[in-house]
Structure 1
Amino acid sequence: MSDFVNESVTQRLAGNHYEIDEGNSHIEVNQEIAKATGTGKLLVRICPAQVYSEREDGTIDVEYAACLECGTCLAVAAPGALTWHYPSSGTGIVFREG
């Protein structure tokens, strides 16, 4: 059996490479809509890369550099709660293992 099958998600993700566009997040959370609709809590739970985290006051932080660009957040976010676009050309995730 392949070692890949026995690796954790964290170990698999560590094989990927990220080209970070410093200071230019491709993800923005509308905090008011996210709080009012519960989208913030949902983003924290649903994101496979754990890009989103919640502060004690309910504000959602975004670690955009870890984004897998999978679109899961777009599928679950309430309308207007999330602005998302692909990172600038040449930046973002470079998959090394699938």
Structure 2
Amino acid sequence: MAKYETGTVVQRLAGNVYEVDEGNSHIEVNQEVAAATGAGDLLIRVCPAHVYSREADGTIGVEYAACLECGTCLAVAPPGVLTWHYPASSMGVAFREG
């Protein structure tokens, strides 16, 4: 029986295909609510694709093109922090892991 090699998370994510809807982010962060609730650090910690980052000015950056559309951020973000919807039809991630 052949042994299945799983590889690193980065190697496995590299097998996915992303169709990016340039200029039309499907994720927006309400910076005021994120700062007031401390949700920015939470989003940075929990996102498996590292979509969220802390910018030099203290705001939360969003690299929406890398989003796995898993919904983890929606599950943990306090109300009002995120505006999130699925990307437009035929856009977003296409999983190739098999």
With structure 1 as the length reference, what TM-score do the two structures score?
Answer: 0.95
Distance across 1 between alignment mates of 2:20 and 2:13: 15
Q: Deviations over 1:64-95 (max 9, x none)?
A: 00000000000000100000000000100000
Counterparts of 1:45-84 in structure 2 under 5 Å? 45-84=45-84
Match of 1:87 in 2: 87
Figure out how many residues of one structure are paired with residues of the other and give that number.
Answer: 96
Task: Please list every run of 5 or more consecutive structure 1 residues that lacks an aligned counterpart in the other structure.
Answer: none
Match of 1:11 in 2: 11
Q: What secondary structure, in the 3-state scheme, does the structure 1 residue paired with 2:18 have? A: strand
Q: What secondary structure, in the 3-state scheme, does the structure 1 residue paired with 2:83 have? A: strand
Q: Deviations over 1:45-81 (max 9, x none)?
A: 1000000000233200000000000000000001000
Distance across 2 between alignment mates of 1:57 and 1:19: 29
Q: What do you get for the CA RMSD once the two structures are aligned?
A: 0.9
Task: Please list every run of 5 or more consecutive structure 2 residues that lacks an aligned counterpart in the other structure.
Answer: none
Distance across 2 between alignment mates of 1:63 and 1:81: 16
Q: Higher helix proportion, which one?
A: 1
Instruction: State yes or no: 1:42 paired with 2:42.
Output: yes
Distance across 2 between alignment mates of 1:56 and 1:22: 23
Q: What secondary structure, in the 3-state scheme, does the structure 1 residue paired with 2:90 have? A: coil
Q: Which runs of 4+ in 1 moved over 6 A?
A: none
Distance across 1 between alignment mates of 2:95 and 2:55: 30
Identical aligned residues as a percent:
72
Counterpart of 1:42, as a letter, is: L
